[in-house]
Amino acid sequence: MKNYVIIGNGVAAAGCIEGIRSVDKESKITVVSAENYPVYCRPLISYYLEEKTTLEKMNYRPADFYDVNGCEVVYGKNAVSVNKDEKKVVLDDGNEIAYDALCVASGSSPFVPPFAGLDTVENKFSFMTIDDTLALEKAINKDSKVLIVGAGLIGLKCAEGIVEKVSEITVCDLANRVLSSILDNECAEIMQKHLEKNGIKFMLSDSVDKFDGNRAEMKSGKIVDFDVLVLAVGVRANTSLVKDIGGDVNRGIIVDDKMQTTVCGIYAAGDCSEGNDISVGQKRVLAILPNAYIGGNCAGINMAGGNSEFSNAVPMNSIGFFGLHSMTAGSYYTEEEGGELYEEKTDTGIKRLYMKDGILTGYIIIGDIARAGIYTSLVREKTPLDGINMDLLKKNPSLAIFSPEISRKKVEGVI
């Protein structure tokens, strides 16, 4: 019998639990949960405000999940340190939990730049947790003027979630475009126009210089008066537990393809971890839910003595606003970097396929996203394009792009 300990109770932790249980049905699993909720679907918090889901439906797993999987969850406690020599996790109440194998799935925290005068703002919120969401829900009303700092995924989903419930939303960002981590200028412009049509105002290439109560003085000199402030500048991986004991840490906790950190017996997964992004061949934090589950699951299997690798992680996002969807995956190499671009524009959208060295390295689609997963699989599997029908590939994703032998295997075989 082993003692498994998981620090964190998000989707990576759920993946880890299910990974452990696929190998070891008996040993004890202890989960340290800072938040007082069973594992929930974090990206759904904006849908909750939009009333497209409920707190109950946001549960990621059924109510008996921990019981069925023989887990003890320690709610409302933070792990403050790891004693790697004695193999113990120390909690903020002084209690210690012994482990044989440990998974750090501690997630990330909102990054708040040191804005001058931020302490004078009364109604300020982050947008990461259920508690953030419930607090924001209480603070807004139909007359609220909301300023959101950050035009990334979190800030814009927040804007979409509350636009019907408030009077005005302004989103500012230092970047010159919305969703700058996943979209280039032209694609971002399409999304921005669509968001503007739906009532969101933007101040891009601009940020707050200082706050004075409910007033923001922007770097450009403009003034924004607001009632509610949402800070969605970015997130930072929670790495200190591993960093403090000498484990390799960059922006995230460095892991190999087995999700092992550089400290013996300690694994990491989810938004706190930094593994290989095969679309660039470098270590990167890929803070997306699919990778959290897959990485956590892989870690769990290995912790329990199984053998699993997560060796095809790429950035990939599906995100829609007010009915317009965008899908992106991989990396976009410019012509100067040796990349080749195929582009197709329609009235409402755009498709861009980025190729380099005979493979599809990435793509951006806004609008017609049907069957885009076939493109994503080419990126993740680094499928050589010399066996692919390029005319069909460009037109529409389908299995017909593959050679007859391969497409036949896909529909006739057990996958």
Partner 1 sequence: MKRVYADEKWCIGCHLCEYNCAFANSGCDDMVKALKDKEIRPRICVEDRDKITYAVSCRHCEDPICVKSCISGALQKHDGMITIDQDKCIGCLTCILVCPYGAVSENGTGVVQKCELCLENSCGEPACVKGCPNRALIYEERGES
> What is the contact surface with partner 1 in residues (CB under 8 A)?
15, 41, 43-44, 47, 52-53, 57-61, 289-290, 293-294, 297, 316-320, 325, 327, 329, 369-374, 376-377, 389, 392, 397-400, 404, 407-408, 410-415
**Secondary structure class of 119 (helix, strand, coil):** helix
- For residue 104, the cross-strand partners are 7, 268
Cβ–Cβ under 8 Å, residues 313 and 348: no
CB of 58 to partner 1, least distance (A): 8
Residue 99 DSSP label:
-
Q: From CA 14, how far away is CA 66, in angstroms rounded?
A: 9
User: Given the complex with partner 1, which of 3 and 312 has the nearer CB atom?
Assistant: 312
User: Given the complex with partner 1, which of 87 and 352 has the nearer CB atom?
Assistant: 352
Structure-token match 């259920």, residue found: 130
User: Given the complex with partner 1, which of 87 and 380 has the nearer CB atom?
Assistant: 380
CB of 228 to partner 1, least distance (A): 24
CB of 48 to partner 1, least distance (A): 9
User: Given the complex with partner 1, which of 50 and 186 has the nearer CB atom?
Assistant: 50
User: Given the complex with partner 1, which of 158 and 228 has the nearer CB atom?
Assistant: 158
Among 89, 71, 87, smallest CA distance to 21 is for 71
User: Given the complex with partner 1, which of 52 and 193 has the nearer CB atom?
Assistant: 52
Among 213, 219, 202, 229, smallest CA distance to 148 is for 229
CB of 29 to partner 1, least distance (A): 19
User: Given the complex with partner 1, which of 234 and 320 has the nearer CB atom?
Assistant: 320
CB of 94 to partner 1, least distance (A): 34
Phi, psi at 35, each rounded to 5°: -85, 150
User: Given the complex with partner 1, which of 84 and 157 has the nearer CB atom?
Assistant: 157
User: Given the complex with partner 1, which of 179 and 224 has the nearer CB atom?
Assistant: 179
CB of 397 to partner 1, least distance (A): 6
CB of 10 to partner 1, least distance (A): 12
The structure tokens listed for 194 are 């669509």
Q: Show contacts of 217-226: CB within 8 Å, 24+ apart.
A: 218/172, 224/147, 224/170, 224/172, 225/145, 226/145, 226/146, 226/147, 226/170
For 265-315, the DSSP string reads TEEE-GGGEEEEETTTTEEE----HHHHHHHHHHHHHHHTT----------
Q: From CA 204, how far away is CA 208, in angstroms rounded?
A: 11
CB of 218 to partner 1, least distance (A): 32
> Can you give the length of the chain in residues?
415
- For residue 320, the cross-strand partners are 325
CB of 368 to partner 1, least distance (A): 11
User: Given the complex with partner 1, which of 290 and 339 has the nearer CB atom?
Assistant: 290
Neighbours of 141 (CB within 10 A): 11
Burial code (b: 16+ CB inside 10 Å, e: under 16) for 184-204 equals eeebbebbbebbeebebebbb
Burial code (b: 16+ CB inside 10 Å, e: under 16) for 239-252 equals bbbbeeeebebeeb
CB of 8 to partner 1, least distance (A): 17
